[in-house]
Structure 1
Amino acid sequence: MSDHHRPVRSGSPPSRRCGHLRRALGRERNPLCRTLDRARSRAVVFTVLGIALAALLGAAAAVTQLAAGQRQAAATAARLHRVEAVVQGSVRKAEASVAGGRAVHRADAAWTFPGDQRNTGSVDVPRNTGPGAAVGIWVDQDGRPAAAPRSTADLIGDSVCPNVFLFGVLAVLASAGLGARLSVLDRRADHAWTRSWARLEPVWSGRASRDDQQSRPDTPC
């Protein structure tokens, strides 16, 4: 881009940011500041404000989802009980499956709950668990095996990751929109500079005077 139509900018990043804000608000006192410069600054300021607003809304949504998940996990934990089960046989590798990104193995086990009531069933166990080993399991009020309450790490992942992804998408779209807008303004600046140069170059170079003199008819002596 030629220096003749380069937007008005200051030296340091903080002053550039302040310059964009002043021009966006129409408070730029530089006589060289043009309408296109103000339009560029408004595009930059609106994009930055939009990204900041998206970040705030995403953070608020993540905090709200995390709080709701924690309340639900606490309510679930209040209805469950943690007991020790004794493995009765070897791990059935044939029943290993993939759940939540990790391998799950199961084995027959026995436990006592509620009270002295003896229960048996198939429970999740570590891969190398042998007969007679004790494993912790979650059971409901009737002693039936139940899924463990969700951990804080799982809740944070479920609440933060989607919002971070959405914020990233919005930031990329906003940046792309800003780039497109600035490209349009740059083309307008190029066209305006070309028109101005076509009008001013003959005067600036003196060619207009020479052409005018050559176009005058010779007067007789």
Structure 2
Amino acid sequence: MHHRRPGRESNPLRRDADRTRARLRAAFMVACLLAVICGVAVGRSAWTHAGRAAAEMARHRYSVTAVTVGETTYRAGPGPSTRPVPVAPATWRDTSHRVHTETVPVPAATRNGETVRLWVDDQGNATTAPPGTAHIALNAISLGTGAAAGIALAAGAAVHARLRIVDARSGRAWASEWASVEPRWSGRLRPGQGSGDD
């Protein structure tokens, strides 16, 4: 009685191409797992660094009450496809009681003489608010997701290219083997074979 050995010889129909395909699929799964791990690491690092930067920025920025001294106008947005930003000249005092007057962003339809909240730096100049937790989290998630997707896509492209090579070689080998087996199997004469040839 014939006993098949376990391992590579356990399935006589399993070819080298099949084993290569299985290894490539396993490698892709490992690459996806590594992509997730790298994405989490990148996101966590971005969260930590951005949180520290925001905390440092918050130590040098504070909110003051400003009074508008003119009518609201509109300034072009920071990008070509962004909406215009409502601005108005406003005046305020910093912590040293110095008076500052600048044109600053204000809510739409703000009238002359109204009060607005404004973020200023250590010198009392108008600036932006320090990044909030939601902004930091969104940035960290975006960076982590981008890193994971980039790794997974690169691995997928490499595996796909290798699978195409394996499939092409397997197809050529199959065609070659079939060309030698098919005439005997079907009883069809091969080119150059006479009716009395075996």
The reply to whether TM is greater than 0.5 is yes
Q: Does 1:128 align with 2:109?
A: yes
Change (3 A) 1:28 1:51: farther
Secondary structure of the equivalent of 2:130? Answer: coil
- Matching residue of 1:97: 76
After the TM superposition, which of the residue ranges 50-59 and 196-205 deviates more from structure 2? 196-205
- Matching residue of 1:119: 99
Q: Deviations over 1:111-141 (max 9, x none)?
A: 23316x2523112212311112221111233
Secondary structure of the equivalent of 1:30? Answer: coil
Q: Deviations over 1:90-126 (max 9, x none)?
A: 1233xx12126453332222223316x2523112212
Tell me if the contact between 1:82 and 1:137 (Cα under 8 Å) persists in the aligned partners.
yes
Q: How many residues align?
A: 186
Runs of 4+ displaced beyond 6 Å? none
Give the RMSD, CA atoms, in angstroms. Answer: 2.9
Match of 1:198 among 165, 179, 184: 179
TM-score by length of 1: 0.70
After the TM superposition, which of the residue ranges 187-196 and 55-64 deviates more from structure 2? 187-196
* Amino acid of the structure 2 residue aligned with 1:31: P
TM-score by length of 2: 0.77
Structure 1 gap segments, 5+ residues each: 1-25, 217-221
Structure 2 gap segments, 5+ residues each: 1-6
* Amino acid of the structure 1 residue aligned with 2:52: R
Matches within 5 A, 1:125-164: 125-164=106-145
Q: CA deviation at 1:173?
A: 3.4
After the TM superposition, which of the residue ranges 151-160 and 132-141 deviates more from structure 2? 151-160
* Amino acid of the structure 1 residue aligned with 2:48: A
Q: CA deviation at 1:145?
A: 2.2
Distance 2:117 2:76 in 1: 20
* Amino acid of the structure 2 residue aligned with 1:91: T
Q: CA deviation at 1:27?
A: 6.6
Higher helix fraction (1 or 2): 1
- Matching residue of 2:13: 32
Change (3 A) 1:28 1:52: farther
Counting aligned pairs with the same residue, the percent is 33
Tell me if the contact between 2:94 and 2:100 (Cα under 8 Å) persists in the aligned partners.
no
Larger RCO of the pair (alpha carbons < 8 Å, separation 6+): 2
Q: Deviations over 1:121-168 (max 9, x none)?
A: 112212311112221111233433233212233323433334434443
Distance 1:28 1:162 in 2: 46
Distance 1:128 1:28 in 2: 81
Change (3 A) 1:136 1:169: same
